[in-house]
């Protein structure tokens, strides 16, 4: 699937870019609570998810009272 086919924003996730969205959708992740269970290292291991996307996701988790898994 081309990143052009992926929406700019999915589920309740903050805008993190289409490549990162594509990587998360491929893993079946569309909610911030699901993403938080992966943790930073596993997120960064996904092709398309970079430090910027992880930072945005971490900030949104903090804002909502969630925390990344260790």
> pLDDT by residue (tens digit) across 47-62?
999 999 999 999 999 9
Cα–Cα dist 3/69, whole Å: 27
Look at residue 70 in the predicted model and tell me its pLDDT: 80
Q: Is the pLDDT of residue 44 over 70?
A: yes
Q: Is the pLDDT of residue 8 over 60?
A: yes
Domain-wise residue ranges, the chain: 15-63
DSSP state of 47: T
Query: Which segment of 3-7, 32-36, 44-48 scores lowest on mean pLDDT?
Result: 3-7
Cα–Cα dist 65/70, whole Å: 16
Helix ranges (H only) for 1-70 are 18-26, 32-36, 39-44, 51-63
Q: Is the pLDDT of residue 23 over 70?
A: yes
Cα–Cα dist 65/59, whole Å: 10
């Amino acid at each position: 699937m081309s990143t052009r086919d992926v929406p700019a924003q999915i589920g309740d996730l903050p805008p993190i870019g289409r490549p990162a969205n594509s990587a998360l959708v491929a893993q079946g992740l569309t909610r911030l609570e699901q993403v938080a269970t992966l943790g930073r290292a596993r997120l960064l291991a996904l092709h398309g998810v970079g430090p910027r996307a992880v930072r945005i996701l971490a900030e949104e988790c903090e804002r909502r009272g969630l925390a990344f898994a260790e």
